[in-house]
């Protein structure tokens, strides 16, 4: 004869879809959920590197001859931020087009930290310079990496080596096209 066990406690109703339930270990409404994000931010500050971050200001100036924007204004004063990256040796590969620099970097930032420091999310065109190197990198792709269950979000920036730093300036050129359509560096 099988034994029947009686339970005095009623089971809670099974939740439909995702949301709050008694079995949810990581309650998104809990104030401590930000703890993981704060710990991640602190780990990046302790184990990461100091980086100079130059914000890119998109210019409305457009050269009709070359069908592109001829200058790239960025901030003249950098913002000191912390982030992860892996320093790599400069690679100069020889191809059919000559010597090419193929040094690309990934910079990882805590999302809430970088948004607070630069007052926006990183954009393609921003420039990052490691504090101990004399190399600047231009961000060309920004992705968000997340650990949603813990509430930790990273911003992963892919950047390429910036070779021509003389083209970078903090203000836009005025009168860049002469009557023949040539580029005259802002001189009338």
In a domain, 20, yes or no: no
Domain limits for position 51: 31-59+69-169
Q: Can you give the pLDDT at residue 67?
A: 66
> 188 pLDDT band (50/70/90 cuts)?
very low
pLDDT tens profile 59-85: 777 677 776 666 777 888 999 999 999
Predicted pLDDT of residue 25: 56
* Sequence-separated (6 or more) residues with CB below 8 Å from residue 131: 49, 50, 51, 52, 80
Domain assignment present for 152: yes
What is the model's pTM?
0.66
Assigned domain for 8 exists: no
In a domain? residue 14: no
| Percent of the chain whose predicted confidence (pLDDT) is above 90 | 25
Position 96 in a domain: yes
Nearest by Cα to 136 from 94, 185, 46, 74: 74
Hey, what are 162's tokens? 């910036």
User: CB of 26 within 8 A of CB of 35?
Assistant: no
**How far apart, in whole angstroms, are the C-alpha atoms of residue 49 and residue 82?**
6
- Residue 121: half-sphere exposure toward Cβ, Cα within 13 Å: 11
Is residue 175 domain-resident? Answer: no
Contact by Cβ (8 Å): 154, 108: yes
CATH number of the domain that 119 lies in? 2.40.10
- What pLDDT is stored for residue 130 in this prediction? 93
Do the domain assignments include residue 97? yes
Q: What is the pLDDT of residues 113-123, one digit of tens each?
A: 999 899 999 99
How many structural domains comprise the chain? 1
Residue 78 located in a structural domain? yes
Categorize the per-residue pLDDT at 186 as very low, low, confident or very high, splitting at 50, 70 and 90.
Answer: very low
């Amino acid at each position: 004869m099988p034994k029947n066990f009686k339970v005095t406690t009623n089971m809670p109703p099974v939740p439909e879809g995702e949301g709050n339930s008694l079995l949810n270990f990581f309650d998104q409404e809990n104030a401590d959920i930000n703890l993981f994000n704060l710990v991640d931010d602190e780990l990046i500050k302790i184990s990461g590197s100091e980086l100079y971050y130059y914000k890119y200001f998109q210019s409305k100036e457009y050269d009709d001859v070359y069908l592109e924007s001829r200058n790239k204004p960025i901030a003249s004063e950098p913002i000191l931020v912390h982030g992860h990256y892996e320093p790599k040796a400069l690679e100069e590969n020889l191809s059919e087009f000559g010597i090419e620099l193929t040094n690309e970097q990934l910079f990882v930032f805590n999302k809430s930290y970088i948004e607070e420091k630069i007052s926006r999310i990183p954009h393609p065109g921003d420039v990052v310079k490691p504090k101990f190197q004399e190399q600047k990198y231009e961000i060309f792709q920004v992705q968000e990496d997340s650990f949603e269950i813990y509430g930790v979000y990273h911003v992963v920036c892919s950047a390429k080596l910036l070779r021509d730093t003389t083209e970078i300036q903090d203000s836009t050129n005025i009168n860049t096209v002469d009557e023949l359509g040539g580029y005259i560096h802002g001189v009338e």
